[in-house]
Amino acid sequence: MKVTFIGAGSLVFTQRLLLDLVSLFPGEEIEVALVDIDPKRLGYIDRITRRIFRERNLREELIFSTLERREALAGSDYVFISILVGGIEIIRKDIEIPLKYGVDQCIGDTIGPGGIFRALRTAPVILDICRDIGELCPEALVFNYTNPMSILCWVVKETLPLKFYGLCHSVQITAKQLASFLGVPFEEVEYWVAGINHQAWFLELRHRGEDLYPLLRERVDDPQVWVKDTTRIEMFKHLGYYVTESSGHNSEYNPWFRKRKDLLERFTPGGSWNGETGFILKLYGTDREKYEEELEAIANGEKPLPSSESEEYGIKIIRALQGGESFRANINVPNRGLITNLPPNCVAEVPCFVEKGQIRPAFIGDLPLQLAALNRMVVQSQEMAVRGILGKEKDSIYYALVYDPLTSAVLSLDEIKKMADEMFEAERDFLPQEWR
């Protein structure tokens, strides 16, 4: 078996997945290919991977690191993609230009001005990678961890016949958080979640068959609980179901929490992941310096490696596909009627049953109407962005912003056009030729 990591320098995912790989396939000789365009980041993950292999008595000759992805892809059975196109300065423009117009984003990598322009930068690169996969290892299963997840998965689905799946950890991390709120062991919590990436819904939440929602409704009235997860709890109180993704990120995907200063002060009291303005700049900026210090400590053996399995689905899916215990994971796949009151051509995040040789998405049926309505608001913006990217239609990019829930709650039509034009100009050197 050969597993290839494109964007291996994204240690948040790669290190976790590598540790899961050697844990879930103990003693097996698995070839690992590491690819990154940044020699420094590639050097870190190469050293960390070799440390992982040495500590488990695996042969380092099975590790191949390269700056050229085509050298790595041939013969791959599984490919993980986790890339970032452009650095901190271009992300700064994603945040600061909309903020000047009044569109306040926390992360800005999924939808809205930041997410749509990240898609413009990233989709052509993802498609180039996928064309190489189609040529060099067309039967490989491809797992994407790159944002904006739904738009990128949709673009690939419309373009290439690959086995391409989108993976995220917001479902299982939210489930673990809810278990903590409720004082219930996480491993005993049962849940059924569906919707779209970063906006899927806990349609069922149970403990040993008992519905946990009545207890959760009591717990969220505790101010100490509410302040930890403000916007999601507000949506739960009003819409009746808990949504995936952290409160700060979640606050960007709807028109309710970030359109006025008083609402920001009320619903982002904890800052950082709870909704701090431009938190991604801190996450990718000053925090990155400490991050590289931590990487060096891991690479040189000063810091211990995590000993427990991560929350990531990726390697657990591979184990099930290879004939291990069957497994259920929430995966981003073409909707195709799985959620019947969302557009059939969109990308849905639904439970999938994984067993030897196959991934079977579950049929959901209709979402509660109030949940589907919010999903459809986001999906319509995603669809226009996809149309713009594939058709090289600038007007469709404007429309994607016009119908984005947060942007449309804050700006007039002519303001949206001016903001978009300023972003196109400021980011022109990072965009494909057709957008310059």
- List residues with catalytic annotation: 169
Identify whether the C-beta of residue 36 lies closer than 8 Å to the C-beta of residue 8. Answer: yes
CA distance 320 to 327: 6
From residue 179, give the alpha-carbon distance in Å to each of 207, 215, 258. 9, 11, 28
CA distance 432 to 291: 30
CA distance 67 to 72: 9
DSSP code of residue 366: P
From residue 432, give the alpha-carbon distance in Å to each of 85, 311, 315, 346, 385. 12, 35, 33, 24, 15
CA distance 20 to 332: 21
- DSSP notation for 237-287: HHHSS-BSS-HHHHTTSSSSSSSSHHHHHHH-TT-GGGT-TTHHHHHHTHH
Phi and psi at residue 121, to the nearest 5°: -75, -35
CA distance 178 to 176: 5
Q: Going by DSSP bridges, is the β-strand pair 31-35/2-6 parallel, antiparallel, or unpaired?
A: parallel
Task: Give the contacts of 57 (CB within 8 A, at least 6 positions apart).
Answer: none
Identify whether the C-beta of residue 250 lies closer than 8 Å to the C-beta of residue 405. Answer: no
